[in-house]
Structure 1
Amino acid sequence: MHRRVRIGYALGSLVTGAFGTVPGLLLLPYLTDTLGVAAGLAGVLVLAPKAWDVLINPVAGRISDRTRTRWGARRPYLLGGGLAVALLFAAIFAAPVRSGLYVALVFLATATAYAFYQVPYVAMPAEMTDDYAERTRLMTWRVALLAVAILVSGAVAPLVTKQFGGGIPGHRAMGVFVAVLILLGTAGSFLGTAGAPTGRVMESEPSLARQLRTARENGAFTRLLICFVVQAAGIGTMLAGVSYFATQILKDPDTGATVLFACFVGPALLVMPLWSRIGARLGKLRAYVLASLVFAAAALLIALAPVLPAAVVYVLTGLVGVGYAGQQVFGLAMLPDCIAYDAQRTGRRQAGVFTGLWTAGETLGLALGPGVFALLLAAFGYVSSDSGSAAAQTDTARLGVLLGFTVVPAVVVALALVTLRGYDLDEARLARHRLDEAQMATNQEG
Structure 2
Amino acid sequence: MSQRTDESLSRRVHGGYALGSLATGAFGTVPGLLLLPYLTDTLGVAAGMAGLLVLLPKAWDVVINPLAGRISDRTRTRWGARRPYLLVAGLGVALLFASIFAAPFGQHRGAYVAVAFLATATAYAFFQVPYVAMPAELTTDPAERTRLMTWRVAVLALAILVSGALAPLVVAAGGGGVPGHRWMGVFVGALIAAGAVGAFLGTAGAPVGRARESEPSLRAQLRVAAGNRAFTRLLIVFVVQAVGIATVLAGVNYFAAQILDRPDDGPTLLFAAFVGPALLVMPLWRRVGAQAGKTRAFMIASLLFAAGALALLAAPVLPPVAVYLIVAVMGAGYAGEQVFAMALLPDRIADDEARTGKRQAGVFTGLWTAGETFGLALGPGVFALVLALFGYVSSDTGQAAAQTGTAKLGVLLGFTVLPALLVALPLPLMPSPSLRSADGFRRA
TM-score range, shorter chain: over 0.9
Amino acid at match of 1:34: T
Give the Cα–Cα distance (whole angstroms) in 2 for the partners of residues 153 and 212 of structure 1. Answer: 34
> What does 1:259-278 align with in structure 2 at a 5 Å threshold?
259-278=269-288
Aligned counterpart for 1:34 among listed residues 38, 42, 47: 42
1:93-116: CA deviation from partner (whole Å, max 9, x where unpaired): 001124100000000000000000
Q: How many residues align?
A: 433
1:69-91: CA deviation from partner (whole Å, max 9, x where unpaired): 00000000001110100000000
CA contact (8 A) 2:32 2:377 kept: yes
Aligned counterpart for 1:408 among listed residues 407, 418, 425: 418
Give the Cα–Cα distance (whole angstroms) in 1 for the partners of residues 432 and 174 of structure 2. Answer: 52
Spell out structure 1 runs of 4+ moving beyond 3 A: 421-426, 428-431
Aligned to 1:58: 66
Aligned counterpart for 1:154 among listed residues 154, 164, 189: 164
Report the alpha carbon displacement of residue 201 of structure 1 after superposing the two structures with TM.
1.2
CA contact (8 A) 2:230 2:431 kept: no
Q: Does 1:360 align with 2:374?
A: no
Report the alpha carbon displacement of residue 424 of structure 1 after superposing the two structures with TM.
4.2
> What does 1:241-280 align with in structure 2 at a 5 Å threshold?
241-280=251-290
Q: Does 1:281 align with 2:291?
A: yes
Q: Does 1:375 align with 2:380?
A: no
C-alpha root-mean-square deviation of aligned residues, in Å?
Answer: 1.5
Amino acid at match of 1:331: A
Give the Cα–Cα distance (whole angstroms) in 2 for the partners of residues 278 and 31 of structure 1. Answer: 41
Amino acid at match of 1:62: R
1:137-166: CA deviation from partner (whole Å, max 9, x where unpaired): 100000000000000000000000001110
Aligned to 1:298: 308
> What does 1:404-443 align with in structure 2 at a 5 Å threshold?
404-422=414-432, 424=434, 426-427=436-437
Q: Does 1:123 align with 2:133?
A: yes
Aligned to 1:442: none
Give the Cα–Cα distance (whole angstroms) in 2 for the partners of residues 67 and 248 of structure 1. Answer: 50
Could you list the runs of 5+ residues in structure 2 that have no partner in the other structure? Answer: 1-8
Q: Does 1:101 align with 2:111?
A: yes
Aligned to 1:438: none
CA contact (8 A) 1:219 1:423 kept: no
Would the alpha carbon gap of residues 310 and 71 (structure 1) be closer, same or farther in structure 2, given more than 3 Å must change? same
Q: Does 1:309 align with 2:319?
A: yes
State the TM-score, normalizing by the size of structure 2: 0.96
Report the alpha carbon displacement of residue 423 of structure 1 after superposing the two structures with TM.
6.0
Give the Cα–Cα distance (whole angstroms) in 2 for the partners of residues 424 and 120 of structure 1. Answer: 28
Task: Using the aligned pairs only, state the percent identity.
Answer: 73
Aligned to 2:341: 331
Aligned counterpart for 2:145 among listed residues 132, 135, 142: 135
Give the Cα–Cα distance (whole angstroms) in 1 for the partners of residues 193 and 371 of structure 2. Answer: 25
Give the Cα–Cα distance (whole angstroms) in 2 for the partners of residues 373 and 344 of structure 1. Answer: 41
Report the alpha carbon displacement of residue 429 of structure 1 after superposing the two structures with TM.
13
Aligned to 2:244: 234
State the TM-score, normalizing by the size of structure 1: 0.95
Would the alpha carbon gap of residues 24 and 34 (structure 1) be closer, same or farther in structure 2, given more than 3 Å must change? same
CA contact (8 A) 1:341 1:430 kept: no
1:382-434: CA deviation from partner (whole Å, max 9, x where unpaired): 00000000000000000000000111000110001121144647527999x9x
Q: Does 1:86 align with 2:94?
A: yes
1:365-391: CA deviation from partner (whole Å, max 9, x where unpaired): 111100000000000000000000000
Aligned to 2:197: 187
Aligned to 1:15: 23
